[in-house]
Amino acid sequence: MPIEILMPALSPTMTEGNLVKWHKKEGDPVKAGDVIAEIETDKATMEVEAVDEGRIGKILVPEGTEQVQVNQPIAILLEEGEDASALNKVKTEALPEKKPEPVQAAPEKKPDLKVVPQATPSDSRVFASPLARRIAENAHLNLGSIPGSGPHGRIIRADVEQALAQAGGAAPALRPSAPSTLLSGYEPAYDIMPTSNIRKIIAKRLVEAKQTIPHFYLTVECNIDALLKAREKINARAEGAYKLSVNDFIIKACGVALNHVPAANASWIDDQIYQYKSADVSVAVAIEGGLITPVIRQADTKGLIEISKEMKDLGIRAREGKLKPQEFQGGTFSLSNLGMYGVKEFAAIINPPQGCILAVGMGEERPVVKNGLITSATMMSCTLSVDHRVVDGAVGANFLKAFKELVENPVMMIL
């Protein structure tokens, strides 16, 4: 019996994804574990492995298709002994048509290019790409009367341009909406850059986090001279076998501090506080088109060398888009370190549903007062962003106190 290959849910929050590439074509044999496609999710671009053996009988969703719904059939796998005639037994459509709700009846096939002074409220229900919507708005076109050729009947740029061509017009240049630009009469040159699914999800979640989570911020200054000396001695003894970074010490310090102050290792979910028993630190890593947060599990129990090797491996595979979902999901606390970019101090946005994220700046030599005398020390600014629903000011302060003591006395991390 032919087997439907469905669009997988590669993360708990995934409802749709982009089918970036097929690694198999129709007629190719498939074994369990073979990489058959690449899917761009709300987190990263990941490889999809086959779970059954057989032969690709038909590809239902071509590569490059966007917004493919989870559990939608994307291909048909023929089992051993089955030929193409078996495909007739499968009644499925790759992209079930979802026509946009019409704004008005279109009596003719030719699009009705009725000029309207501005988009009507019903236009917002039309299924169209942002770029198509902007072109139509600048051309004063009624989107509801333009048939869509994109996935699920979505109106795309080509549909709007075709409608304009049929009317003898041309797509007008898209104008920036900034009032200062329009008032000045100056229109700067610009490019509209393609937006990945990852970037769209990041944008959506950051807005939601900032609007729905009551952030407050706490900052401490850490003297990292002792940490730098300890790192130098450890790396010298390693003779190239490994190389610890300052970030490795910070990850360890976060884990141990969470162990000391477990109330900071918590989330607010459905009006309840979830206090975690494991210090799983999500570490922000920049990737092309966005960022991802691979997780160092039980950071408080791991040695610095183990953390260093694990973080290097996760970082490399994160940039290659090869992380498994369990490697970047389920962290309990986040760390964002921009010190290597020369950033002195910043405040990060909380990564929901976590209750805290620590933003770390660069270490720099500054004048400090010690025993009544002015001297110099290598100082590092660290700012804790806190969800006030789950972590109060005193709890956040106690976490930073424990973290600071560990960073300034790194030998305590191994006790």
**Please, what are the averages of pLDDT over each run of 10 residues along the chain (415 residues)?**
84 79 91 87 77 89 88 88 73 46 44 41 60 78 81 78 73 48 61 79 88 97 97 93 96 98 96 96 91 95 96 94 88 97 96 96 95 95 98 97 97 83
Amino acid 259: pLDDT: 96
Residue 89 to residue 102: CA distance in whole angstroms: 35
Residue 335 · residue 356 · CB < 8 Å = no
Domain count, the chain: 3
Q: How far apart are CA 338 and CA 206, in angstroms?
A: 18
Check: CB of residue 227 under 8 Å from CB of residue 410.
yes
Half-sphere exposure in the Cβ direction for 77 (13 Å, CA): 18
- What the block records as the tokens of 5 is 């290959």
Q: What is the pLDDT of residue 110?
A: 44
Sheet hosting strand 373-387, strand order edge to edge: 215-223, 373-387, 356-370, 333-337, 281-283, 295-296
Q: Which class for 184: exposed (0-12), middle (13-18), buried (19 or more C-beta within 10 A)?
A: exposed
Say if residue 81 is in the same domain as residue 229: no
Q: What is the pLDDT of residue 40?
A: 81
Catalytic residue numbers, as ranges: 388
Domain boundary among 150, 174, 194: 194
Domain boundary among 159, 194, 229: 194
Do 46 and 122 have their domain in common? no
Identify the pLDDT of residue 106.
Answer: 42
What pLDDT is attached to residue 118?
Answer: 39
Quick one: 347 and 364 in the same domain? yes
**167, 280: one domain:** no
pLDDT at res. 67: 83
The reply to whether 84 and 147 lie within a common domain is no
For the CA atoms of 322, 326, 327, 329, what is the dihedral angle to 10 degrees? 110
Same domain (yes/no): 180, 228: no
Output the pLDDT for position 119: 40
**85 & 116 share domain:** no
Q: Which of 194, 216, 242 corresponds to the end of one domain?
A: 194
What is the reported pLDDT for 161? 81
369: domain range? 198-414
- Same domain for 331 and 358, yes or no, is yes
Q: Are 334 and 247 within one domain? A: yes
The domain that holds 334 is classified in CATH as 3.30.559.10
pLDDT of residue 90: 67
Amino acid 42: pLDDT: 66
Is the same domain home to 165 and 35? no
Tell me: do 246 and 271 sit in the same domain.
yes
**Same domain for 162 and 207?**
no
pTM check: above 0.75: no
CATH number, residue 26: 2.40.50.100
